[in-house]
Structure 1
């Protein structure tokens, strides 16, 4: 994709601060009024019109009774269709199950497939709730550090193989596209992971929630689509919530590759892990079936914003390490070359009044890193970057 035009995009750049601050979601509601938030992975953009229209129509019909889904919700077929159309993956609708949240999907799979004390390999840095889940569930996290190279963040496949073998891992939690580094793994890289999984008989739990937020020429490849062996050992987790800014609808899907695990899941009491809201299904279907035009505009804005973040940081903070994200709306910044004397999250908040995320919640060796959410308007992003560059610029040298 070429550099985005230098024009504002209606619906994405005309966001007033008063409107943003009046929102009840945690991103803008929790910080003090003079703070600009760029922390939690939630976009600032309004809900896509097709989703709002579909929800309004359902409410106007007063149609809020029990849904008649004897064979599962319509999401199962819609998911399989979208995977085939978007990624060429022949996912089976019969293997799809609905849940209320991606983290719940992960927790349920770990509950069914592993036991307390079992080792689980995980890329680091990583999404903090995933790492917290492993601790809370008494699963032994085996970090496999991503390597920061001149060409961007890379997985160390030899280290993955060694860690899995040495620790006796039962599963690998794979995040692709990767949060927080923004890497999109290539087919060759995924093949290396598949070889490790086959060699050590690993269950692969693949978080692909950012799949539709990859920037050309990078393209997401579902891990389960690699081969018959990969399909049989992979559980795929995803949702429309990231690509369409719908976190509050609480709707996600899990595609179960292993027969035994799917049978075990279906043998549980049907409501033990909660049931998905019909309105969440309505919103997801509307996004997948009618939201593509909105998403194309979104990717234009996000592509422009990621390039702007990269350019400002390169020009104003040349010592700071940062790679242009290949996917997501998150930038992962290494402030350690600047020699900060205190955690950068705290300094940027105190001196710049910008709330970012980062540090130890993202795993071992994440001290000194910041995660910046650039899914906001041009004007808000410019102010965020100006404040961050000003505060961190005083530390250079």
Structure 2
């Protein structure tokens, strides 16, 4: 270990980020989960068939794509095994294609956020990105400008470009204190007026910065949306991965008038590690969007599968104890990242309010616009490339910290060694 890493041993051992705990059965369950996650060694991780580990050479530690390294929740596995044990993988009994996801999503939103979207206004898609693109395709026209906070998730930006929906960027700028990232609502209002913007894609919690927008910030966006009659597509896939004291507020929950211009998209994919199950729930609060989708052949955009629905329902109805333990573990990891990198010359790492993604400002290291490319070569760590999130990503990299803590320490050690060498060059 380098002298740089040794100097931060207190942070790298994870003790400085430990959370206070109350004794009891749930605490013992959390401790068992901690031990299970810590025991996931590199050999077991590299044997996984998913893209995160299979797309990297054996000497590279992956911290890129937004998948967790942790096993699927036991209630989900039990539900999938029970479904397979029936021996019946034929047509499911879903009248008019209305899966149980619709009711479960409505109940979950009511229980967690006090907002109950009518189940008959909910429909299923394969994933969040597909839902966003389908809504844009059916409810806007080529040439219609669409606003989005930047830096932004690449598939969303690529979809805008492919569909000829000009992007109106809402720049998130770094701050030295507080939440770490903020935007100028007044400038957003001026840009909407100047461009003739027709829609807003609201990614909240935000990827890649990890911001959770406050009720006041959401209300400012809602006021602009009402003034200019914007359709709002709220991507809330990371909502269940919010750390206290931050609190997720569904955009459509602000007011019935807000809900009536909003399409809300959610999925169990991120919080419960089910991206391969290919199910997202989409509340279509806007009547004109419901009408536009009703005019499209029902299977034009495909349909969700039996096992994906089974997994999603199990996660959202029986997985919250597991999720609470995962959030505690992830909270320790995000503290570990922030405290390890705090004060390292050339690096700014704000602690995210949600997600398991850390948006690293490496502009001070003089590694060029894509420091992730150099870190892959020099540290043998694979991070997400900052320029993939442009505008606003040059000089940045995104680190996925949803890893066993011993593996995360090794990732951070390699980054510290490589950035220390860069600082001496």
Determine the C-alpha separation between the residues in 1 that align with 2:252 and 2:220.
14
| Match for residue 335 of structure 1 among 356, 362, 373 | 362
Residue number in structure 2 paired with 1:49: 74
Specify the alignment match of 1:66 in structure 2: 91
- The residue number in structure 1 matching 2:154 is 128
User: How far apart are residue 347 of structure 1 and its match?
Assistant: 1.0
Structure 2 spans left out of the alignment, 5+ residues: 1-16, 22-30
Q: Secondary structure at the match of 2:37?
A: coil
Provide the residue aligned with 2:121 in structure 1. 95
Partner SS, residue 90 of structure 1: coil
Per-residue deviation at 1:19?
Answer: 1.1
Q: Deviations over 1:137-168 (max 9, x none)?
A: 11111111102112210121012111111111
TM-superposed CA distance for 1:3, in Å, is 4.3
Deviations 1:175-218 (A, max 9, x none): 00000000001111110100111111100000000001000011
Give the equivalent residue in structure 2 for 1:161: 189
Q: CA RMSD in A?
A: 1.5
Report the count of equivalent residues: 395
Q: Please give the per-residue CA displacement for 1:24-82, whole angstroms capped at 9, x wherever unaligned.
A: 11110011011000000010001111111100110110121111211411111000000
- Following superposition, the deviation at residue 338 of structure 1 comes to 2.2
Residue in structure 2 matched with residue 387 of structure 1 by the alignment: 414
* Secondary structure in structure 2 of the residue aligned to 1:10: helix
Asked if structure 1 preserves the Cα contact closer than 8 Å seen for 2:370 and 2:385, the reply is no
Q: Describe the SS at the equivalent of 2:174.
A: strand
Alpha-carbon distance between aligned partners in 1 of 2:224 and 2:369, rounded to the nearest angstrom: 39
For residue 221 of structure 1, the aligned residue among 225, 245, 249 is 249
Q: Does residue 1:247 correspond to 2:272, yes or no?
A: no
TM-score by length of 1: 0.97
Q: Which residue of 2 aligns with 1:14?
A: 39
Q: Is the 8 A contact 2:370 2:397 kept in 1?
A: no
2:353 matched residue in structure 1: 326
Q: Match of 2:423, SS?
A: coil
- 1:217-248 Cα distance to aligned partner (Å, 9 max, x none): 11100000001221110000110010100110
Please state whether the residue corresponding to 2:248 is helix, strand or coil: coil
CA distance in 1 between counterparts of 2:196 and 2:390 reads: 20
* 1:54/1:283 contact within 8 Å kept: yes
Distance in structure 2 (CA, Å) of the matches to 1:119 and 1:153: 24
Does residue 25 in structure 1 map to residue 53 in structure 2? no
Contact 1:5 1:304 in 2 (8 A): no
The Cα of 1:342 is off from its aligned counterpart by: 6.3
Q: CA deviation at 1:358?
A: 2.4
Does 1:296 find its partner at 2:324?
A: yes
CA distance in 2, matches of 1:247, 1:365: 26
Separation in 2 of the partners of 1:206 and 1:177? 10
State the partner residue of 2:134.
108
Q: Is the 8 A contact 1:36 1:353 kept in 2?
A: yes
Counterpart CA distance in 1 for 2:395 and 2:169 is 18
Contiguous gaps of at least 5 residues in structure 1: none
Q: Counterpart of 2:8?
A: none
Query: Does the 8 Å CA contact 2:333/2:401 hold for their aligned counterparts?
Result: yes
After TM superposition, the structure 1 stretch with the greater mean CA deviation from structure 2, 65-74 or 199-208, is: 65-74
* TM-score normalised by L of structure 2: 0.90
CA distance in 2, matches of 1:115, 1:186: 31
Evaluate the alpha carbon distance shift between residue 342 and residue 350 of structure 1 in structure 2; reply closer, same or farther with a 3 A threshold.
Answer: farther
Q: Please tell me whether residue 356 in structure 1 is matched to residue 386 in structure 2.
A: no
Following the alignment from structure 1 to structure 2, what is the Cα–Cα distance between the partners of residues 169 and 303?
Answer: 38
Matched, 1:77 2:103: yes
1:280 counterpart residue number: 308
**Greater Cα offset, 148-157 or 195-204:** 148-157
